[in-house]
Structure 1
Amino acid sequence: MDHLIEFWPILKRLLVYLVPFKKQLILACILLFSGSISEVLGPILISYFINNILSKHQLYSATIFVVIITYILLQIISVFFNYFQSILFNKIAVKVINKLRKDVMNSALQQPISQFDCQPIGQMISKVTNDTEAVKELYDTVAPTLFKSIILIVIVLFAMFTLEWHMAIIALLILPVVMTIMFIYQKHSTPILRKVRYYLADINNKFNETINGINVIQQFCQQNRFKKSIKNSSELHYTARMKILKLEGFLLRPLLSLLSALVLCHFILLFSCFKVGVFEVGILYAFITYLGRLNEPLIAITIQQSVLQQSIVAGERIFNLIDSPKQKYGNNIKALKNGNINIKNVTFHYNNSKKYVLKNINIYIPSKNFIAFVGHTGSGKTTLANLIMGYYPVRNGKIYLDNQNIDSISHSILRKHLLMVQQDPIVLSDTIFANITLGRTISEEKVWKILDTVHLTSLVKSMPKGIYSMLGEEGNNLSAGQKQLLALARILVSPPKILVLDEATANIDSGTEKLIQKTLAYIRENSTLIVIAHRLSTIIDADLIVVLKKGKIIECGTHQSLLNKKSFYSKMYRLQLSKS
């Protein structure tokens, strides 16, 4: 019964999204209801024609003309109403999905950074695209089809009982059998459909990885391995889909068609058993027509079970994302005035690992100082920077910014006063102006001043449209150094109190490094600067160098004082000098 427990709450929650559109929904239902009545009145009219006109040979031209015109009008009205209800339902569905996608995207944007450490990006993309598209079918296909089918069944049964209740009871017997088939189908299809959605997300994730890493794949001739991996995922998806199709092929149309055929045989048997005149030919015609009309909505309802199940499974995945814990921030909106940092007894490990990355870290960083974190790969430098940025909650120990506990500071204050430039800055496929402003209100004149500060003016002026020149995807028409300078330009739009550079000079030439150093000297006048560096030549002027090894601070001091100690830092520095 677990699948039923999950089914109804998710369906109810998905239907709540229709509440803002209830007026349009009511109008769509009225149109659908009117179309269904028009559709059902046709056989009653023909039945009347057979019993009262054709069988009595009263074939007057005027009467026949009226019947034909009325029948055609009923069909036209039915088509008219069904067309407009379909358009209206689709409009509602698109609006609902837009709202749902906004909710999903908003939730994805508020996910803790830790979520992205363990969740493939393709899985999240699949929830925003494929899963919301699957849910859309609930609103534009399943809901109107179910409503129309139920209305048709009720109207057809009412018409049947009005015409001949004996035969109507026989037709009614098909309903509990159909309900049983639907229950069996739902029970067996839910776990398979869950796998279908998972495999589809896995295929998206692998395509995403393949496209993003195409250079590495081609460089190391890994095309066949990745093709095989995607092929395996596609085969798993194909196998799961085939299971659903086989289940549908057995439980849906063939079985229901058989049931309808049996009911039709009962009609013929009942018609033949009674005396001539008890059942009229027109009534038999109407019942045979209605049986076809009854059969179709029953088949439609059962077929929609498959689509409904896919929508529910997709909805389950979407709501898992929406309901997942968001990045937590405090409520303190007091602005940072100085930018001093006090790290007290911080010990940290990631959620998916019990191994401690940082152990008992204690550092005091005065305002507007230049601090460097150095150490071998895996020493904990980037993790410490991420904790200072507020990307991860500090579970053991405390971090204070301007004597305020970082956990108490609001998101707006943190993101305004703490900024980071990473080793590989994200460059949008947009104009230079848009890449610098990032939606903030700023004049063209100020952008040119910033470009001058980061020494990018000559480059931008050489481009066809200046600051409105388009940059390629991920900034592929810029060098690594130019990307770093562009990232620093973003910072200068609104200089922070604390700036973190994570290996920002690792992939650049010495000329660009000097330009970055000049820009950093300008930023240091108003900001505390934290630099994570492998290239030790970039941190010689640091006020304090913190040396980390296996998550512990093993040395602290200025460049010269650490050289004089002739310990770990001194060895690292001399080793780099010998290689240069």
Structure 2
Amino acid sequence: MLFNTSHDLTRFWNILNRLLKYISIWKKQLIIAFLCLIIASITEVLGPILISYFIDNIVVSHNLNITLIVFIIIGFIILQISSVTLNYYQTILFNKTAVKIVQNLRLDVIKSALQQPLYIFDTQPIGQIISRITNDTEIVKELYDTVIATVFRSIVLICVTLIAMFSLEWHMASIAIIIFPMVIMVMFFYQKYSTPILRKVKEYTENTNNQFNEIINGMQIIQQFNQEKKFKQCIKKNSKLHYLARMKILRLDGLLLRPLLSLFSAIILCGLIISCNIFSTHLFEIGVLYAFISYLGRLNEPLIAITTQQSILQQAIVSGERIFELIDTPNQIYGSDLLKLNSGSIEIKNLNFSYHNNTFYTLKNINLIIPSKGFTAFIGHTGSGKSTLANLLMGYYSFNQGKIYIDKRPIHSLSHQTLRKGVLMVQQEPLILADSILTNITLGRHISEKKIWQVLNMVQLTSLVQSMPQGIYSNLGEKGNNLSVGEKQLIAIARVFVVNPKILILDEATANIDSETEQNIQNALLSIRKFSTLVVIAHRLSTIIKADNIVVLHQGKIVEKGSHKILMHKKGYYWKMIKTQIKKY
């Protein structure tokens, strides 16, 4: 294959090698499939030899031996049936194995995606990730069930055909093999010109998936602001680019593959005809000539098949490159400390943080102590760094400078299991699964139904759930669209209320809940304080007024901290924010 640089060649073989490694656990099935291919190829090649024998020994010599004719016919039919049957079984085996391999590959991609740092999802559109998991793995599947099977079958068929040709007449066979350097030349050119085009095709496909993802998720906003035409034009533009790139590949296929190879076969056939006049006529028998013409046609097909697989192979390599790029992305880093949290104490020392290692710091010189079972509230204007600080306490991001201690242990030393069991968060926009209420609350944890009903009562959802046809087994639909925003938040709060984490973080978790329900939630939080440290991000005065310590953030810095009474007495940032809030009401 032709590559622009040795680096491209190395990358190609590295990706292909990694893709082929997935075959190793299915060796037995593939060996059986390969054996079927070999035997099928032999039976396919033996057919013309029988016909050649029939022509030379019966037709030309006018020897009408009925018994011999019957045996030749029966033998030919058996060979054809054997070839068809074995080809059927090898196709089934290759496809079955390919599906299993792709399942493993997709599991590896999903596993990697689930363990990646959150900043990956902050910078990469979801549609691109979905495209790699679905479209790219489906293209790679063709490597296993089409490319490998076709290439191996074609090589076996070519080898068996050449053996048969040389055993019949080596002069003609020598002329026929001239086609191989011609085919290799075609493959070189195809490789060179198809690779950049195929990368563009993948890029346009990915963009289309991402655009559809944005349209479906933002359908309400698109219709509200009458932007249907604009988004339609975006899809149309990208689809046109995809179409033009595809047409380039089709033109390349149409020029370099079957027509050109058929021309080469025609040239070789002309060479065979000319050779009949050059060499002694006794070297060539009519049956042998028929066999060679038949073999030349059969030789042409596997050569075309191998060259055609270049396109699929290139697409599989490009897709494999994108898949492994996702798989090779470093996972979220956690420590090795598996001990459970004994307390919910938090200490932050000289913390500085910026997203994506930018020079602009979102958090600057944060110093804070939150005692175990304390109630601390973060307040500040939009963009002040409240949610960022909460995400750092969850261990979602690594930070540039400073220290965070949880239970007097550095947060980076804590294992994933310790953090996820000991520190929980309720976000402002919770994720609701298209599943039952029970599943949405338990999320795979072993929690009794009795406990579920207790928590539902605590968050004021009992009457709603009881009104549903199947109670806690009722399906909430896609993204919980049959629930209000406030009811979704209550489901999310119920998720953490079923356990007693050492640290509970609420990021505007009561923003869309009515005042009466919020008061009930506040009462529930007071009971949770017996077990947990509360960190609450909120703007409502009712949510934060009872906090032991209120931390006021402004442009990433702590500008004030203290109780509600102390901060109101200072008449600083907090006092101004509360006064502004009171005026609104």
CA distance in 2, matches of 1:167, 1:383: 77
Q: Which residue pairs with 2:129 in the alignment?
A: 124
5+ residue gaps, structure 2, are none
Tell me which residue corresponds to 1:196.
201
Structure 2 matches for 1:41-60, cutoff 5 A? 41-60=46-65
- What SS is found at the alignment partner of 2:366? strand
Query: Is the Cα–Cα contact under 8 Å of residues 481 and 512 in structure 1 kept in the other structure?
Result: no
| Structure-2 separation of matches of 1:515 and 1:125 | 40
State the distance in 1 between where 2:401 and 2:195 align.
43
1:456 aligns with 2:461: yes
2:142 counterpart (134, 137, 156): 137
1:308 is the counterpart of 2:326: no
Q: In the alignment, does 2:115 pair up with 1:110?
A: yes
Identical amino acids, percent of aligned pairs: 62
Q: For 2:240 and 2:87, how far apart are their aligned partners in 1?
A: 39
Aligned to 1:70: 75
Tell me which moved more, 65-74 or 443-452: 443-452
Query: Map of 1:203-352 to 2, 5 A cutoff?
Result: 203-351=208-356
Amino acid at match of 1:431: S
Q: What SS does the corresponding residue of 2:433 show, helix, strand or coil?
A: coil
Matches within 5 A, 1:477-556: 477-556=482-561
Cα offset, 1:565, TM superposition = 0.7
* TM-aligned CA deviation for residue 352 of structure 1: 6.3
Matched letter for residue 83 of structure 1: Y
Q: What SS class does the counterpart of residue 128 from structure 1 fall into?
A: helix
CA contact 1:3–1:187 (8 Å) conserved in 2: no
Task: Note the alpha carbon deviations across 1:170-197, whole angstroms, 9 max, x for none.
Answer: 1111111111211221121112111111
- C-alpha separation in 2, matches of 1:126 and 1:418: 33
Q: Distance in 2 between matches of 1:99 and 1:349?
A: 37
Instruction: Tell me how far apart the structure 1 counterparts of residues 116 and 397 of structure 2 sit (CA, whole Å).
Output: 11
Deviation at 1:513, TM superposition (A): 1.8
Counterpart of 2:45 in structure 1 is: 40
Q: Is the 8 A contact 1:118 1:352 kept in 2?
A: no
Kindly indicate whether residue 569 of structure 2 is the aligned counterpart of residue 568 of structure 1: no
The reply on whether 1:93 has 2:81 as its aligned counterpart is: no
Corresponding residue for 1:400? 405
Cα distance, 1:362 vs structure 2: 0.3
Q: Is the 8 A contact 2:459 2:517 kept in 1?
A: no
Report the residue type matching 2:516 in the other structure.
Answer: G
Deviation at 1:519, TM superposition (A): 2.3
Shift of 1:394: 2.1
* TM-score, scaled relative to structure 2: 0.98
Q: CA deviation at 1:119?
A: 0.4
Tell me the residue number matched to 2:151. 146
The one of 3, 7, 18 aligned to 2:23: 18
- Report if the CA contact (8 A) 2:15-2:320 is conserved: yes
- The DSSP-based 3-state class of the residue aligned with 2:283 is coil
Offset from partner CA, 1:463-511 (integer Å, 9 cap, x none): 1111111112111111222111111111122221111111112222222
Structure 1 residue 525: deviation in Å? 1.9
Residue 447 of structure 1 deviates from its aligned partner by 1.6
Q: 1:341–1:366: 8 Å Cα contact kept in structure 2?
A: yes
Change (3 A) 1:3 1:248: farther
Cα distance in 2 for partners of 1:560, 1:447 equals 37
Q: Summarize deviations over 1:285-337 as a string: whole Å, max 9, x none.
A: 00000000000000000000000000000000000011111100000111111
2:460–2:517: 8 Å Cα contact kept in structure 1? no
120-129 or 516-525, larger mean C-alpha shift: 516-525
**SS of equivalent to 2:402:** strand
Post-superposition CA distance 1:37-62 (Å, at most 9, x none): 11110001101111111110001222
- Name the counterpart of 1:422: 427
| Alpha-carbon shift at residue 272 of structure 1 (Å) | 3.0
Matches of 2:359 and 2:469, distance apart in 1: 53
Amino acid at match of 1:291: L
Deviates more, 1:282-291 or 1:346-355: 346-355
d(CA) in 1 for partners of 2:514, 2:458: 19
Q: Give the counterpart letter for 2:321 in structure 1.
A: E
Comparing 350-359 with 87-96, which one deviates more in the overlay?
350-359
**Aligned partner of residue 355 in structure 2, secondary structure:** coil
SS in 1 for 2:356: coil
CA distance in structure 1 between the aligned counterparts of 2:98 and 2:525, rounded to whole angstroms: 51
- CA displacement at 1:353 relative to structure 2: 3.5
> Distance between the aligned counterparts of 2:194 and 2:358, measured in 1?
36
> What is the SS of the residue equivalent to 1:235?
helix
CA RMSD of superposed structures (Å): 1.1
Runs of 5+ consecutive residues of structure 1 not aligned to the other structure: none
Please say if 1:364 is aligned against 2:364: no
Post-superposition Cα deviations, 1:364-411, rounded to whole Å, max 9, x if no partner, equal 000111111111111111111110110001220000001100000000
One-letter amino acid matched to 1:518 = N
Deviation for aligned residue 1:129: 0.3
Residue range with higher mean Cα deviation, 403-412 or 464-473 = 464-473
SS of aligned partner of 2:404: strand
The letter for the 2-side match of 1:533 is A
Distance in 2 between the 1:165 and 1:542 partners? 95
CA distance in 1, matches of 2:517, 2:203: 46
1:511 & 1:472 partners in 2: Cα distance? Answer: 27
Give the letter aligned to residue 496 of structure 1: P
Q: Give secondary structure in 2 for the equivalent of 1:507.
A: coil
Q: Which moved more, 1:564-573 or 1:436-445?
A: 436-445
Quote the Cα distance in structure 1 between the aligned partners of 2:365 and 2:464: 46
* TM value normalised by structure 1: 0.99
Partner AA of 1:69 in structure 2: I
Q: Contact 2:378 / 2:553 at 8 angstroms: preserved in 1?
A: yes
Which moves more between the two structures, 289-298 or 269-278?
269-278
Range with bigger deviation, 183-192 or 414-423: 183-192
Q: Distance in 1 between matches of 2:172 and 2:524?
A: 89
Distance across 2 between alignment mates of 1:241 and 1:307: 13
The 10-residue stretch of structure 1 (469-478 or 408-417) with the greater mean CA deviation from structure 2: 469-478
Report how many residues are paired.
580
1:110 to partner: Cα distance:
0.5
**Match for 2:275: what amino acid?**
L
- Which has the higher mean CA deviation after the structures are superposed, 418-427 or 239-248? 239-248
Q: Is the 8 A contact 1:193 1:310 kept in 2?
A: yes
Q: Do the aligned partners of 1:149 and 1:300 also contact (CA within 8 Å) in 2?
A: yes
- Partner Cα distance (1:102, 1:167) in 2: 52
